[in-house]
Amino acid sequence: MRVPYKEIPLTRRNILHRDGHACQYCGYTGDELTLDHVIPRSRGGGDSWENIVTACVRCNVKKGSRTPNEAHMPLRHPPRQPYSSLYFEVSKHLKSGLHTEWQKYVIGL
């Protein structure tokens, strides 16, 4: 049986989960996380999985309205759209501490 593909919504919570709740510039994992447009909106960058990353307030301000190359702030991981909505949702629940009993059924987490 084939599982139907369902697009994962582009939300703050989903971006934070994809990026491991860590700044994609310095690795900070505290509470002060924001979302950063890799190519700034002021320069034509849009809202997409490939253009938004998690960033701490300090890095977001430091980068300003520049690209990561211009700011000399390389990304730790290139942003991309998550592959499987089922895998994404299950891993979100497991990593949050909910439904840890699912762990034995999930490969790769």
Structural domain that includes position 35: 12-81
Q: In the chain, how many domains are there?
A: 1
Residue 36 in any domain: the answer is yes
Q: What's the whole-model pTM score?
A: 0.77
pLDDT band of residue 106 (cuts 50, 70, 90) is: low
Angle of CA points 48, 54, 59, to nearest 5°: 120
pLDDT at 107: 56
Dump pLDDT digits (tens) for 15-66: 999 999 999 999 999 989 999 999 999 999 999 999 999 999 999 999 999 9
CATH number at residue 16: 1.10.30.50
Residue 57 in any domain: the answer is yes
Residue 92 in any domain: the answer is no
Residue 49 in any domain: the answer is yes
At residue 8, the 3 state secondary structure works out as coil
Residue type, 39: I
Q: What is the Cα 45 distance to its own chain's centre? A: 16
